[in-house]
Amino acid sequence: MVLEENQPEYKSQCYDVMYECCFREELDIKEIWMIYWMITNASFVNSYLIISGRLELLYKHIYKRVRKTVIDDYQWIGNDSSGLIILITSQFLGLGHAPTMRILDYAYAIAKELNKNIMIINDSGYNFYHCNYLKINFIGQFVTELNNYNSIVYKDLRIPFYQIKTYMPDIYCINETLRKIYDLKPALVYNIGGESLVADLCNLFTKTACFPCSTNFPITMSKYMLVGRKIEEKDRQRLETVEDYQEVIETVVNYQLQDSDSEIYYNREMFQLSENDFVLGIIGNRLDIEIEEEFLQVMKMILEKINVYFLIIGDLKEENREKIQNKVKKKANIHFTGVLEEAYKAIKLCQLYCNPNRLGGGRSSFEALANEVPVITLASGDVYYTCGEDFAVNNYKEYVEIIEKYYNEDSFRKQMQRKAKERADLLSNIGKTQNEILNKIL
């Protein structure tokens, strides 16, 4: 919300200048990598920023510079390998982190349902150097305790694990990790998340694939580019940058509900809501930015038309909480939970999941569907591709109208609850999806 008030066109111009600087030879690869992630983060969390530079071209430039530093002369092993599948990510945190959950769920399904040998590597690409003369707009988390782990346990599966310990991109550690992977002779290096220099450099000796943690086109130099939706007209420009050796595979993004033995439990009374209240849920990790002015107007309009309550799940600065409450007349109808542990358990307290205009939110929208909570989203972003057309509207006018319909028509709401469960069942079949993907690749 603050960014909107500070003339985003100037911020866009600043990022454009930083982008252009990255193609100057004087800049060190560490500086370029930091700028890359700064631009990536800004583009992701600020939907209204227009940045002229194309991230896939900048990543390709970074990859080529790092490729020149590879020391060893590798021989191709892709057709004569162990059958091992190495899954690589650039950030590995914990069970509350959606990208970490995804790689764990995928690894588990590939091992248990497809009977494949697996290993997970955190190449720590998100744990980048911070250059003193650049003010970072976010800090990527890194779990140093995992540096000494050689395996991790997920559900009933022990998974071999390795984590690069240093800030990236560390040329020495990249070369060392490539040698470790080469010695294991994997059939496939499978990057879950995108932008992995280590995974892409494995092109030198085995098959590589990339599946981003979103429905965006992957930014990768791996051979197989997995897109979690149908290719659309808007992808035409992106397809023009694909290398001759690369292949695009259409698929779907899978999710599974987290298993939990904890006693964490939420009810409406904890958040000053009654059992008779009609509750609209908004959930996210970046709500300070995602609940922007236009969406505030939508909330205001909804509260003026019908007697509903908003349950806002996630961190919000105090000034932004006040801004939301000052925007609407029914202040008592806005309830803030703050950050919740195992927040997916609170989604079931809502009748509807309301998605602001944003790129992320795929996992939490799946968790809503799995709890038979219908979703309302504009026809763009991860939530749209996760939930499908049944839960999408074309504009905020239709957004308000469909909420009124849910509020007034009990039979319609029950029909959409059934559709939500059906969609969640489809999305949770990770084994089937990964089997189709691996059959195409291997």
In this predicted structure, the answer to whether residue 360 has a pLDDT above a threshold of 80 is yes
- C-alpha distances out from residue 99 to 220, 278, 358, 361, Å: 17, 31, 17, 11
Maximum distance among all Cα pairs of the chain, rounded to whole angstroms: 68
Q: How confident is the model at residue 2 (pLDDT cuts 50, 70, 90)?
A: very low
Angle separating helix axes 98-112 and 430-441, nearest 10 degrees: 70
Closest CA to 206 of 39, 375, 82, 354: 82
Ranges assigned E (strand) in 81-127: 85-89, 118-122
CA angle 56, 61, 66 (to 5 degrees): 120
CA angle 395, 397, 399 (to 5 degrees): 70
Model pLDDT for residues 152-192, shown as the tens digit of each residue: 999 999 999 999 999 999 999 999 999 999 999 999 999 99
Q: What is the mean pLDDT of residues 413-436?
A: 94
Report pLDDT for 4.
46
Of residues 259 and 437, the one with the higher pLDDT is 437
CA–CA dist 264, 266 (Å, integer): 7
Q: How confident is the model at residue 329 (pLDDT cuts 50, 70, 90)?
A: confident
Q: What is the mean pLDDT of the chain?
A: 92
Report pLDDT for 257.
82
